[in-house]
């Protein structure tokens, strides 16, 4: 089962739906709600890069700040997704290992759909491996 860290800087129906989904479909390490989104984003990214967990799912009001902070860590590939297509292809074409989402913009159903799509892609497109290596 995929081990996933979850953390958010606020709580609402959307974050609760994401946590509920992860609790059923992953080995969840739920860090809950914390206001220090730059800190928890980098801490989660370190755990992903160090192979302590498989993925991280981070949420903030826009999903952008958590992506920016996580991407400061070498080897982290955080993608902010607001639709399933972006989530799918961030995994497929960029081998994204961290998903960030807006807890304000997305409905619970949209967030779960994006998350499900992100987690359904097990490995990147083999044709993109050289490009993914160039990201590092």
Catalytic residues, by residue number, are 60
3-class DSSP assignment, residue 63 = coil
SS (H, E, C) 25-62: HCEEEEEEECCCHHHHHHHHHHHHHCCCCCEEEEEECC
């Amino acid at each position: 089962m995929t081990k996933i860290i979850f953390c958010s800087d606020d709580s609402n129906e959307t974050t609760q739906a994401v946590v509920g989904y992860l609790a059923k479909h992953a080995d969840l390490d739920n860090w809950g709600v914390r206001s220090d989104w730059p800190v928890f984003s980098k801490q989660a990214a370190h755990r992903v890069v160090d192979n302590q967990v498989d993925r991280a799912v981070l949420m903030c009001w826009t999903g952008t700040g958590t992506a920016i902070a996580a991407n400061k860590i070498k080897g982290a590939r955080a993608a902010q997704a607001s639709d399933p297509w972006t989530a799918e292809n961030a995994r497929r074409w960029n081998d994204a290992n961290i998903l960030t989402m807006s807890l304000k913009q997305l409905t619970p159903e949209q967030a779960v759909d994006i998350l499900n799509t992100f987690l359904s892609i097990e490995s990147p497109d083999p044709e993109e491996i050289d490009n993914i290596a160039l990201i590092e």
